[in-house]
Amino acid sequence: MKENKTRNLVYGALIAAIYIVLTMMFRPISFGPIQFRISEVLCVLPYFTPAAVPGVFIGCLISNMLGGAMLMDIVFGSLATLIGAVGSWLVRRNRYLVSVPPILSNMLIIPWVLKFAYGSEDLVWYMMVTVGIGEIVAIGVLGQLLITVLGRYRNVIFGDN
């Protein structure tokens, strides 16, 4: 039992670190009203392990702090990722549904954050479309590709999660 807790802690920390590295490595496109956060691909990892839920949340939280985001963005942007990760964990039995909760949570929450935290003058519905497109590509397309690749090595990487 203790080994499982330690393994989940390590997995969560590794997922958070990878999220941060990907966000900072692609910083110019990871922030702003029209963004494509490649690190969001990790939001499908709850399909494999519950450790991904706190991992992507903490990774997003730290990335937003390091990226100089406004406090509202740090809080609500990270919560959008947490909501999406929890939703992915809840629907983990269907690999295609795993992508839906993070896409929807970010698509519905982030435009409001951009409007109120940064004073974006774009219409909220327009930002929902632009954020949604980025999330669909990052999570829906790349995330499903990641599930396919990692699925081949599921037992080696994730053990009996």
Domain-wise residue ranges, the chain: 2-158
Q: How many CA atoms lie within 13 A of 143 on its CB side?
A: 30
Maximum Cα–Cα distance for the chain, whole Å? 51
pLDDT digits (tens, 9 = 90+) for 111-133: 999 999 998 888 999 999 999 99
34 pLDDT more than 80? no
Q: Decide: 31 and 117 in contact? Cβ < 8 Å.
A: no
**pTM (two decimals):** 0.92
Q: How confident is the model at residue 158 (pLDDT cuts 50, 70, 90)?
A: confident
pLDDT digits (tens, 9 = 90+) for 43-89: 999 999 999 999 999 999 999 999 999 999 999 999 999 999 999 99
